[in-house]
């Protein structure tokens, strides 16, 4: 019975959306600094474990934060 209830609650959209959070709130958001020039602030991330295509299964994402 407990397994059935757990499965139902974990797959019910209404239950998932209204479930109480068990962590502290994040707090106030901080403004990001606007870069002065192109390529002043960059970030990159790898998205891996994708379905293989052409022998590759990952993507590198590079973001250039452009100011003004």
End-to-end CA distance of the chain: 59
HEC sequence for the chain = CHHHHHHHHHHCHHHHHHCCCCCCCCCCCCCCCCCCCCCCEEEEEEECCCCCECCECCEEEEEEECCC
**21 versus 12: which is more confidently predicted?**
12
User: HSE on the CB side for 40, CA within 13 Å?
Assistant: 10
Q: Tens of pLDDT along 32-54?
A: 787 787 778 888 999 999 999 99
pLDDT at 67: 62
Extents of the domains making up the chain: 2-65
pLDDT at 60: 95
Give the angle subtended at the CA of 35 by the CAs of 31 and 39, to the nearest 5°. 135
pLDDT at 68: 58
* 56 has a pLDDT exceeding 90: yes
């Amino acid at each position: 019975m407990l397994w059935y209830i757990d499965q139902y609650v974990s797959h019910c959209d209404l239950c998932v959306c209204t479930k109480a959070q068990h962590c502290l709130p994040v707090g106030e958001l901080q403004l990001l600094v606007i870069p002065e020039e192109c390529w002043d602030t960059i970030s990159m991330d790898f998205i891996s474990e994708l379905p293989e295509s052409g022998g590759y299964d990952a993507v590198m994402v590079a973001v250039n934060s452009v100011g003004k």
